Structure 1
Amino acid sequence: MPLMAAILLMAPLLQGIPLSHDLHIHLAMADQFRASLAEGNVYPRWLADFNEGFGAPTMIFYPPGLFYCAGLASWLCGGNILVGFYLVLALLTIIGFAGVYRLLSEPAGPWAAAGVALTLVAPFRVFELHAAGLFPAYAAGCVFPWALDSLRRIASQPRSDGWLSRPVRGWAISVAAMLLLNLPFTVLALALVSVWLVFETGRSRRLDTLIRVTAGAAVAMSISAVYLMPALAERHLVTLPQAGQNVYAGNFIFMTPGAWEDPALQHLFQRMALFPLALAVVGMGLILVMNRGSSKSGQGVFNGLLQLVSMITVEAVFLASPASRWLWEGIPALATLQLPWRLLDHLAVSGSAITALALAVVWRSKNRFGWVRYAFAGFCLVLTLLMGMLSLSCIQMNGFAPPHLILKQIVAFRRLPADYPPRGSELTPQRADDALVTVARGQISGKVIAWESERRRIDIQAATSGAIALRTWYYSGWSARNEQGLTLPVTAESGTGKLLVAVPAGRHTLEIRFGATPLRLAAAWVSLLAALGFAIVCIHPLVAHYRKKQTPSRISASDQSELPPPHPSEYRDRMEPGAGVMKVWMLFQIVALILAGGLSLTWPPAGPPAEATAPLDVRKMGASELQIRHADGTTFTVRFMETVMAVIANPIYPLAAVFTTDEPPDSLLLVPPQPVATSSVYILHTVTGEFDRIPTDETMLGSWFFQVWSPDGRYAVILTSQWDGFKIFRAADWVHSSGHLWIDWRKPWRDMGAYDRPLRAGDPSRIHRFIGWEGPAVFSFSGSCCGTEFSYRYDIAQDRLTRTGQRELP
């Protein structure tokens, strides 16, 4: 059942790669992490290609677990990071469904399969994987059922069991895995578990449960200290994403309509919460009505799990609702998580578990009202179908792209802005044509010998002492040595934040590395010692058990005749030690090979596509004609009634923006850069040949000489006119239907919650100009009026406008 559910959830990959919101950033991180591992870095922390090659300490603050797995999987798959990344997600999906089945198999029996099915269609989990691209949170969610199963077993185990018994070890491993996959998910999970633990300790009056759960969590944190300690201690050295903003205040579930910046997204999230919650509430009511939750004999396992998942559900709903605003305001750890709707991830597992338990109760109950079981089963079926339809709409939300096109774009993705840039780095002009090394002071010449992720090697000839500035941001951990092993001073260049290396006069070979600080080294030792100690504790009972079985016992013949026949389970105990582990490992290998083979056949390897699979080509053939060449070599022509001036193709979708003018082809007004001719814009579907005119005011042709599509192809920004704002569209809308306006910026200075709001545009002569894209959803532009030009940055995803500067025009 878990394997079948995993195949169904990953089946949309047969259509192509879902263009999830964060796909580009995670692929860029995974590809750089893999490359850094290949260069010999045991724990890559500096991703050198981000921010147009200035790099960022991103992996100090991102948990490395998913990226280690993706790097290893891509190596096994011949270096294809896309196949390796999704192979890891597929294996984690199997692990997640297996955890749900194990969690429910004992208390729910065969109805554990229903819990797996409900988790399969949980809309938020599907949204997370195929639409949002929250891959680390999705991976941590796959481990969460195993953590819940360990907690259930800890609460029910005898007092005489050891402090690090098998359930406690399972809990420690689960928490460590979640910490190394996604920190926000784990912090919320531990917060939910803490409330249950206090309740369980008071109810059962057993301090041993409290000690065991706390000890397991402490072990997990010690094992993951290599990531946790630097991530928490170095936060003051970087600019945190959306620092100082109370983002959580506008992201609660069940807020009044229109409270979110995007009402459509708010409606989607509310449905993703209501469907599984309705099933859980009705199921809980039936359990209570039928008195199945009472403390009857033999119901300990059932009641223990029911109490656990019901409390997790209630807490998750409370923390995701505006009723908990006071907690988010008062607890800094919660406020930094930013998004209360993250708790829908935890709700997916606990809600599915409650529904499965209710189905088991109703179907096993000998209640005279037999129609209740059929009514509840029908209710579950209807809501399951509704959740399935919602999940399918989430899968289709952003469309798909061929794998080879995604692979071609990874190089561009690696140059995008990244989270956690060092403080002061925002002053650096991020231009792609900057030199790798510049002379800051002195008379110095030289050449770059090696430029790797965390290592630079430079030969210099310095006539005088001076300093060189590298195309790398300074951050704690960078160090420089000369050929004699002497340490050279490194600092941040004033005004830019670049890595500045002071060099003495003479000829030198500089070795510049990003390495461990005393804190990072101490954290590594804590993790190593904790992991070794934990491994010894886990192995010792197995060794003792093995030695005990190898010790022969002396039993007389008369005593042997009186012994009862062995139980079948004893035959399993007499198997060769480790045979069960080997079988599981063999099964894992078979599944991994099948998935790797299937994905490799579906996705071509990295590299330039063959001529037969080349992307569509759109070119201008005449004054008003375009020729479109398909991948199979066929061509067709599209003719416009106006003169075609420019064609800009989308990097991912089969779309092109076509700009036209009413001027004749031989008009002198069409010669750039003379911005006199007016222009209109059409969105052309390069597969069907259909095109859709964007209803804009006519704008001057010179305004169109910029990249309309965002770097990842998800958005189109159209300048309505020089005297008005921008219209922003989602490219995926044109793939399946005609596009609809997403953000209408006809009142460009509307209040967007920006810190530095520009003055309102009361003067109709204000002229706007597009500057460039600064990220997949961020662009900059200028507005000039009355002798002053203001520069602005607009974040499409956050709908946030910020003024970045101003200057007086000559």
Structure 2
Amino acid sequence: MLFFNLNQFKFRYLFIFCSAIIIIAFFPLLAFGVRSGHDLPTHLSWFLSVRDIFSSGFSYPRWLSDQMDGMGAPTFYFYPPFSTFFSVLVDLLFLGKLPPDRVIGISAFFMSVLSAAAFFVWARNYTDKKIAILVSTFYAVAPYHLLCNFYTRAAIAEYAAYIWIPLIFCGILKVLTSDKKKWVLILALSVAGIFLTHLLTAMLVGPIAFVYSLLVAFSENKVSKLDPKKIFLLVFSSAIGIGMSALYFVPALSLFDQIDSSMLFQVAIEQTALFSEFSLANFAKFEMVLSLIVIIYLSFSIYCLIECKMSSARITKASGYFAVFWLLVAALATAAMAGKMMFLFQEPSPLRKIQFLWRILSVVEFSAITLFLVVISNLQSSAARSRIVLLGVLIFASFFLLQNFSSYKFIKKEKNDRTELFGKEMVKYRLSPTEYFPAGTTLSSEPGAIAHRLGAHLETAFIGQVESGDAKIITATRSGAKFLIKVDAREKSIVSIHQFYFPGWNAVDEKNTVLPVLPVTADKLVGFEVLPGVHQISIERTTTNAEAKGNWISIISFTLFILLAVYFTVQFQKKRKIA
């Protein structure tokens, strides 16, 4: 039988085979770098900005002063930092010798390898390492994960979030069912990781993880009475993980009204429902590809349970609960993507913010692959297992060929594509998307014309300018987000600098007197008021109250994490000495 033929292969040969599969899937990225994707110019622009700031010795640069052609953007107040910072670390690993597009391509490869390793750990709860590495390889190059999220959309943060999903569910399982305390720490890191990688994926995974933890607790309690300490450790670990990521999400949530967030929701979430225009005539359309992927996953999940029902030796009752759970997750998620559960996405639900219903496909993908593991690891019928494995292999092969056809087709025009990519206005002028403009700006919000929105500011960047009153700027210098302006004012005047307004700007004069900072001009530039006389004004970014709160929560949570790690280590050493 197909299922048992794996026994004739040594694990190291399967490892080499799976490594080759991943390398084949990523060869265009490894050889030539990234070339296309809906959000690629944006991520490339951010990478360039963060890399420059890191090279100056700064850490966690929330404000990118060189964005918007030098007018600045609060990008990493709102966008999770992990994926961009990861690419900068990869750049450091290669000593800055690679072009940015190749750095991002190699970063994506490493992220996929990490997601495969994470899923391998999760899969080992259900099966031996040979099956686990094969299924983990599929997870690493699964169609929504790689083809849609990376090659098509270049949604790098959502793509990177796949690293943490298996570790979160594995952490829940291990904390509640084993005595290995390391999983309390791994779960905390994984929860922090998904928040710092993609907040929207965390919002989708969170409710499912909560229900899963209840199911695990219920199942464990039926076998042997569940220790209440494990429930406490689960809650405590999750809370620490959320707390460690507070340095990101507290400012993001607190300052959301300071940017033009309406640009995030130009398309109503109801309009992103799948299957609304389902037609084979639209086969090549992105939404159609997503619909077909969902149908295949859900159909395969249902088939797995049908095989369980038909098999003369069914899976155990406990495993059956989990099989049904993962099928329900996939089915309900599919219904939600089809727009059949819109009450979940109405105000004041935070799920309203996910923008696109088809983002839930990450949940379907994880659920379907996990259901496959649950079923094949519990069925006693070798014939049923072989049929399920064979069908799984055919699905994988089809997906693999489809996305390789899509990713390899640009290789012949590699040089032209690279020139075109770096010539795009988003990269050339380091432009952040429209939602990072300050709230209330009169700059045009016409989609797809960011360079034109900045108008005369492009290529004519100034440092300081008198907006009102009788004054003259004597000297003006700039270093990143720090400005030094000498002003000779004959009367009370308003002076602006070439940066967008956002909370956190601080201005002081030569006497160290704090000056009020406010948005001035229709474009909402940073401005300050000067009194008559000659003044030396220093303007720079300082920590906002929201940042300070988030930082303190993270510091406290990280301290608790370290103390917990030390306590577990001491306890482990004591047990070893006794043994």
The TM-score, its normalising length taken from structure 1, stands at 0.61
- CA gap of 1:243–1:75, structure 2 versus 1, over 3 A, is closer
Match of 1:271 in 2: 292
**Deviations for 1:570-600, whole angstroms, at most 9, x for unmatched residues?**
9xxxxxxxxxxxxxxxxxxxxxxxxxxxxxx
CA positional deviation for 1:180: 0.3
How far apart, CA to CA, are the structure 2 residues paired with 1:8 and 1:288? Answer: 38
Question: RMSD in angstroms over aligned alpha carbons?
Answer: 3.1
Partner-residue secondary structure (3-state), 1:445: strand
Match of 2:438 in 1: 422
- CA gap of 1:30–1:387, structure 2 versus 1, over 3 A, is same
The residue identity in structure 1 corresponding to 2:25 is L
CA positional deviation for 1:449: 2.0
Does residue 181 in structure 1 map to residue 209 in structure 2?
no
How far apart, CA to CA, are the structure 2 residues paired with 1:74 and 1:115? Answer: 30
How far apart, CA to CA, are the structure 2 residues paired with 1:70 and 1:21? Answer: 18
Match of 1:483 in 2: 510
Match of 1:123 in 2: 143
CA positional deviation for 1:397: 7.5
1:12 corresponds, among 28, 32, 36, to 28
Does residue 504 in structure 1 map to residue 527 in structure 2?
no
Match of 1:89 in 2: 108
Does residue 135 in structure 1 map to residue 162 in structure 2?
no
- CA gap of 1:72–1:31, structure 2 versus 1, over 3 A, is same
CA positional deviation for 1:95: 1.2
CA positional deviation for 1:333: 0.6
**Deviations for 1:441-499, whole angstroms, at most 9, x for unmatched residues?**
222122322241x2222233334442211121111101112233221221111533111
- CA gap of 1:201–1:63, structure 2 versus 1, over 3 A, is same
How far apart, CA to CA, are the structure 2 residues paired with 1:508 and 1:401? Answer: 54
- The count of aligned residue pairs is 536
Does residue 492 in structure 1 map to residue 519 in structure 2?
yes
Does residue 387 in structure 1 map to residue 415 in structure 2?
no
- CA gap of 1:427–1:92, structure 2 versus 1, over 3 A, is closer
More helix by share: 2
Match of 2:132 in 1: 112
Match of 2:11 in 1: none
How far apart, CA to CA, are the structure 1 residues paired with 2:496 and 2:257? Answer: 24
Partner-residue secondary structure (3-state), 2:436: coil
Partner-residue secondary structure (3-state), 2:213: helix
8 A contact 2:150–2:156 mirrored in 1: yes
More strand by share: 1
Does residue 378 in structure 1 map to residue 390 in structure 2?
yes
Partner-residue secondary structure (3-state), 2:346: helix
Q: How much identity, in percent, do the aligned residues show?
A: 18
How far apart, CA to CA, are the structure 2 residues paired with 1:307 and 1:213? Answer: 24
How far apart, CA to CA, are the structure 2 residues paired with 1:114 and 1:58? Answer: 38
How far apart, CA to CA, are the structure 2 residues paired with 1:190 and 1:459? Answer: 52
8 A contact 2:315–2:378 mirrored in 1: no
- CA gap of 1:275–1:347, structure 2 versus 1, over 3 A, is same
Match of 2:119 in 1: 100
- CA gap of 1:108–1:35, structure 2 versus 1, over 3 A, is same
8 A contact 1:45–1:60 mirrored in 2: yes
**Deviations for 1:30-55, whole angstroms, at most 9, x for unmatched residues?**
21122223334332111223333322
8 A contact 2:36–2:151 mirrored in 1: yes
CA positional deviation for 1:260: 13
Match of 1:804 in 2: none
How far apart, CA to CA, are the structure 1 residues paired with 2:117 and 2:162? Answer: 12
How far apart, CA to CA, are the structure 2 residues paired with 1:435 and 1:521? Answer: 31
How far apart, CA to CA, are the structure 1 residues paired with 2:284 and 2:138? Answer: 27
8 A contact 1:477–1:514 mirrored in 2: yes
Match of 1:755 in 2: none
Output aligned runs, 1:321-360, within 5 Å. Answer: 321-329=338-346, 331-360=348-377
How far apart, CA to CA, are the structure 1 residues paired with 2:326 and 2:536? Answer: 61
Match of 2:541 in 1: 514
The residue identity in structure 2 corresponding to 1:194 is F
Does residue 191 in structure 1 map to residue 212 in structure 2?
no
Q: Which has the higher contact order (CA 8 A, sep 6+)?
A: 2
Gaps of 5+ in 2: 1-14, 445-452
**Deviations for 1:502-555, whole angstroms, at most 9, x for unmatched residues?**
223443332211121122112111101111111110122213433665x6x8xx
CA positional deviation for 1:320: 2.1
The residue identity in structure 2 corresponding to 1:477 is G
The residue identity in structure 2 corresponding to 1:386 is S
Tell which structure's C-alpha radius of gyration is larger.
1
Gaps of 5+ in 1: 554-569, 571-810
8 A contact 1:442–1:467 mirrored in 2: no
Partner-residue secondary structure (3-state), 1:323: coil
Does residue 447 in structure 1 map to residue 475 in structure 2?
yes
1:293 corresponds, among 315, 321, 336, to 315
CA positional deviation for 1:87: 3.3
How far apart, CA to CA, are the structure 1 residues paired with 2:266 and 2:234? Answer: 34
How far apart, CA to CA, are the structure 1 residues paired with 2:170 and 2:539? Answer: 48
How far apart, CA to CA, are the structure 2 residues paired with 1:5 and 1:270? Answer: 25
How far apart, CA to CA, are the structure 1 residues paired with 2:67 and 2:165? Answer: 32
How far apart, CA to CA, are the structure 2 residues paired with 1:396 and 1:264? Answer: 18
Match of 1:171 in 2: 187
How far apart, CA to CA, are the structure 2 residues paired with 1:231 and 1:260? Answer: 42
CA positional deviation for 1:124: 0.9
The residue identity in structure 1 corresponding to 2:398 is L
- CA gap of 1:240–1:258, structure 2 versus 1, over 3 A, is farther
How far apart, CA to CA, are the structure 1 residues paired with 2:543 and 2:282? Answer: 42
Does residue 23 in structure 1 map to residue 23 in structure 2?
no
8 A contact 2:47–2:87 mirrored in 1: yes
Match of 1:227 in 2: 248
Match of 2:3 in 1: none
- CA gap of 1:9–1:468, structure 2 versus 1, over 3 A, is same
How far apart, CA to CA, are the structure 1 residues paired with 2:216 and 2:391? Answer: 32
8 A contact 2:422–2:428 mirrored in 1: no
How far apart, CA to CA, are the structure 1 residues paired with 2:194 and 2:341? Answer: 24
Partner-residue secondary structure (3-state), 2:485: strand
Match of 1:691 in 2: none
Match of 1:541 in 2: 568
Partner-residue secondary structure (3-state), 1:492: strand
How far apart, CA to CA, are the structure 1 residues paired with 2:111 and 2:83? Answer: 10
The residue identity in structure 2 corresponding to 1:322 is G
How far apart, CA to CA, are the structure 2 residues paired with 1:317 and 1:83? Answer: 35
CA positional deviation for 1:311: 4.8
**Deviations for 1:215-274, whole angstroms, at most 9, x for unmatched residues?**
322211110111111111111222115466562212223335379999822211111222
Match of 1:799 in 2: none
- CA gap of 1:373–1:74, structure 2 versus 1, over 3 A, is closer
Partner-residue secondary structure (3-state), 1:424: coil
